[in-house]
């Protein structure tokens, strides 16, 4: 296996393991704010590693699309995270205090 | 190897569906939004595995529609009393 093949394999492993850990964390954690941490991690690290592997190994026509996909995910993920956190905070502040 | 990566990511979607079914509304939207990048990664891996770079457009559309759909759900949550 060449050096680029090794790098590609490592990047694929990083992408798969990080995405699976984030999905496992979604099931493990009950609080919505804990889940938001994992949601933002799933939208940044895994797709970036996979797109880097595509840039290294994939056909040249696939590289711009992979970069655009990651850019879109990197822009959209914080927006959705902030929106969900805002709604969750607003709804939790409306709930009556438990004694 | 790319097909193996795509297959290994499929349980992630199942975990997102389980989390979406078990949690309250905000947590369900978070699980839905998490499934978007996972499905995008699966589609990217399949596109490279099949050596068809045109299929990457599907991943691009999924990532864009996932964002739009989640913002729609968040907006509907805001409007609920």
CB contact under 8 A, B15 and A26: yes
Q: What is the pLDDT of residue A7?
A: 87
Q: What is the pLDDT of residue A96?
A: 59
Tokens of B62: 């999924």
Which secondary-structure segment (H or E) carries B81?
none
Calculate Rg over the CA atoms of chain B. 14
Residue B11 has pLDDT above 90, yes or no: yes
Calculate Rg over the CA atoms of chain A. 18
Distance from CA of B35 to the nearest CA of A (A): 8
Which chain A residue lies closest to B24 (C-alpha atoms)? A32
Q: What are phi and psi of A59, to 5 degrees?
A: -65, 155
Average pLDDT for chain A:
87
CB contact under 8 A, B12 and A20: yes
Which chain B residue lies closest to A45 (C-alpha atoms)? B37
> pTM of the full predicted structure?
0.88
Q: What is the pLDDT of residues A71-95, one digit of tens each?
A: 999 999 999 999 999 888 888 777 6
Which residues are within 8 A (CB) of A71 and not within 5 positions of it... i.e. 6 or more apart? Answer: none
Map out the domains of chain B as residue ranges: 2-79
Distance of CA A6 to the CA centre of its chain: 23
How would residue A18 be classed by pLDDT, with cut points 50, 70 and 90? very high
Residue of A8, A38, A50 lying closest to B41 (CB–CB): A50
Residue A24 lies in a domain: yes
Q: What is the pLDDT of residues B24-67, one digit of tens each?
A: 888 888 999 999 999 999 999 999 888 888 888 898 999 999 99
- For residue A42, which of A74, A88, A90 has the smallest C-alpha distance? A74
Q: What is the pLDDT of residue A3?
A: 83
Count structural domains, chain A: 1
Residue A99 lies in a domain: no
Residue A39 lies in a domain: yes
Q: What is the pLDDT of residue A99?
A: 47
Residue of A36, A62, A76 lying closest to B56 (CB–CB): A62
Q: What is the pLDDT of residue B40?
A: 92
DSSP state of A62: T
Which residues are within 8 A (CB) of A91 and not within 5 positions of it... i.e. 6 or more apart? Answer: B26, B77
With beta carbons under 8 A apart, name residues in chain B contacting A10: none
Q: What is the pLDDT of residue B78?
A: 83
Between A22 and B54, name the one with better pLDDT.
A22
ipTM for this model:
0.86
- Of A20-24, A46-50, B61-65, B76-80, the one with minimum mean pLDDT is B76-80
Residue A31 has pLDDT above 90, yes or no: no
* Domain span including residue A38: 3-93
């Amino acid at each position: 296996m060449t050096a680029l093949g090794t790098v590609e394999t490592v990047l694929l492993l990083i992408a798969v393991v990080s995405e699976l850990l984030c999905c496992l964390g979604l099931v493990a954690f009950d609080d919505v704010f804990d889940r938001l941490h994992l949601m933002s991690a799933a939208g940044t690290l895994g797709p970036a590693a996979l797109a880097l592997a595509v840039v290294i190994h994939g056909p040249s026509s696939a590289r711009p699309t992979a970069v655009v996909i990651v850019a879109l995910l990197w822009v959209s993920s914080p927006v959705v995270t902030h929106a969900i956190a805002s709604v969750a905070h607003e709804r939790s502040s409306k709930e009556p205090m438990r004694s | 190897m790319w097909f193996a990566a795509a297959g290994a990511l499929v349980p992630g979607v199942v975990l997102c569906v389980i989390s979406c079914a078990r949690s309250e509304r905000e947590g369900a939207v978070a699980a839905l939004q998490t499934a978007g990048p996972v499905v995008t990664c699966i589609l990217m891996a399949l596109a490279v595995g099949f050596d068809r770079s045109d299929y990457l457009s599907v991943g691009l559309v999924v990532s864009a529609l996932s964002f739009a759909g989640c913002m729609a759900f968040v907006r509907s949550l805001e409007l609920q009393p």
